[in-house]
Amino acid sequence: MLVKSQHYRTIWSKQPLANGLGTVSIIDQTKLPHAFEIKRIENLQAMIVAIKTMQVRGAPLIGAAAAYGLALAMQEDASDQFLQAAADQLIQSRPTAVNLNWAVQRMLKLLAPLPELSRNQVAWAEAVKICDEDVLLNQAIGQHGLSLIEHASQRAVKIKGQAAVTHILTHCNAGWLATVDVGTALAPIYAAHDAGMNVHVWVDETRPRNQGASLTSWELAQHGVPHTVISDNAGGHLMQQGLVDLVIVGADRVTSTGDVCNKIGTYLKALAAFDNQVPFYAAVPSPTIDWNITNGLAHIEIEYRHADEVAYMQGLAADGSLQSVRVIPAESTAINPAFDVTPARLVTGIITENGIFTPAKLNLNQQY
């Protein structure tokens, strides 16, 4: 994606040269939309902090970041003991998105059998490969999802009797910023916009961290896609008014049976979509599917983040400074579950890099 006419990915590296150390660069997402800052990550601990504090976030991106975390670890100490300890720490840094575990296991499988001397170089090459693959998966999701938007647009013409704008609602940020590039839920929207279709996106603000209001709106604006930020509670009303043609969200973990775990509040959108016969799709690259589990409610660990993310809101003050303000009484407490599970029965389909599957047929995707 272009930011001020320059192409960026969300994460990239300077590989280690003969006698130098490799580094990783990220876009610090805690500063967006008010400042575009690039941060250099030079060791494993800094990468763990970046993942925990959500300087990098989004399931595919934290997978890529974890792979780079192991590359950074291998240039600190390539011993078996450090490799395993680094892998354990990375896996624990955020528990819900399966991409992180997937990337760490892939790196471990490759690195563990190697002699210590060759681990560093191989780890950097594999992390780059994981990033490049992520971009290709997301581009394929974009092409498959484009057909859904074309279909929704034809449906809207039939119902409303005119060539209308296609309104797509999305939750959280499952775009360019949540992946290495392109995005998952936003990939079909970018593809439709680039093909000249008239699309408009309803962007859920996505409390408590406001990934919709701060990040999705920012990247849609960078790409020139028409969009409107709405409060988290507005989606159901808009659906009742016939103003939503399609819902597309991302996912942090999808079971083999099609239960979709995604940012907190996704489930409520799925319920409203079901009640209003609005198609509800999740865009999911295969590293987000956990083939080992069948029941999302029973088997997926939901991350609970600090209650201060609910108690406080961050924003730009009139003097241009970033400020945090408390929005609940001093006497009140808060809790902060970061994800929820939408049962497969509420999911119309899953857009993968291999095509679109109903939840019941998702296991067909495993053959690829």
Interaxial angle between packed helices 116-160 and 187-194, expressed in degrees from 0 to 180 and rounded to the nearest 10: 60
Is 283 in contact with 250 (CB distance < 8 Å)? yes
Using CA atoms, how far apart are residues 206 and 309, in angstroms rounded to an integer?
12
Q: Which is nearer to ligand MRU, 232 or 252 (CB)?
A: 252
Closest to ligand MRU by CB, 98 or 156: 98
How far is Cα 125 from Cα 325, in angstroms, rounded to an integer?
43
Work out the number of other CB atoms within 10 angstroms of the CB of residue 7: 8
**In contact, 16 and 120? CB cutoff 8 Å:** yes
Q: How far is the CB of 308 from ligand MRU (least distance, A)?
A: 15
Calpha distance 233→176 (Å, rounded): 25
Window 247 to 276, contacts with ligand MRU (CB under 6 A):
250-252, 262-263
Q: Which of 57, 106, 193, 223 binds ligand MRU (CB under 6 A)?
A: 57
Q: Bridge-partner residues for 352, per DSSP?
A: 355
Binding mask 195-234 toward ligand MRU (x if CB under 6 A, else -) reads: ----------------x-----------------------
Return the range that interacts with ligand MRU (CB under 6 A); candidates 57-65, 194-202, 308-316, 359-367.
57-65
φ, ψ of residue 148 to 5 degrees: the values are -65, -40
- Among 97, 123, 156, 300, the residue binding ligand MRU under the rule CB under 6 A is 97
Part in contact with ligand MRU (CB under 6 A); list of ranges 129-137, 150-158, 244-252, 348-356: 244-252
Q: Give yes or no for residue 296 binding ligand MRU (CB under 6 A).
A: no
Q: How far is the CB of 12 from ligand MRU (least distance, A)?
A: 18
* Binding residue (CB under 6 A) for ligand MRU from 130, 131, 178, 244: 178
Element (H, E) at 103: helix 98-111
Q: Collapse the DSSP code of 24 into the 3-class scheme (helix H, G, I; strand E, B; otherwise coil) and give the result.
A: strand
The piece of 6-14, 109-117, 245-253, 358-366 that touches ligand MRU (CB under 6 A) is 245-253
| Residues in binding contact with ligand MRU, number by CB under 6 A | 17
Nearer to ligand MRU, 23 or 222 (CB): 222
Q: Does 59 bind ligand MRU (CB under 6 A)?
A: yes
Calpha distance 201→220 (Å, rounded)? 9
**255, two tokens:** 């079971």
By beta carbon distance, the residue nearest ligand MRU is 250
Pairing of strands 38-41, 23-27: antiparallel
| CB of 57 vs ligand MRU, minimal distance in Å | 4
CB 75, min distance to ligand MRU, A:
27
Least separation in angstroms between residue 282's CB and ligand MRU is 9
174 touches ligand MRU (CB under 6 A): yes
Residue at token pair 């896609």: 225
Known catalytic residue at 245: no
Q: Which residues of 24-59 are buried (b: 16+ CB within 10 A; e: fewer)?
A: bbbbbbbebbeeeeebebebbebbbebbeebbbbbb
Given the residues 181, 232, 245, 252, select the one marked as catalytic: 252
Residues 16-55 that bind ligand MRU (CB under 6 A): none
Tell me how many helices (H) and strands (E) the chain has.
Answer: 12, 18
Q: Least Å distance between CB 277 and ligand MRU?
A: 23
Residue among 23 and 342 whose Cβ is closer to ligand MRU: 342
Q: How far, in Å, CA of 245 to CA of 273, rounded?
A: 10
Task: Compute φ and ψ for 187, nearest 5 degrees.
Answer: -60, -45
Would you please indicate which residues are annotated as catalytic (active-site) residues? 252
List interacting residues with ligand MRU (CB under 6 A).
57-60, 97, 172, 174, 178-179, 184, 211, 250-252, 262-263, 338
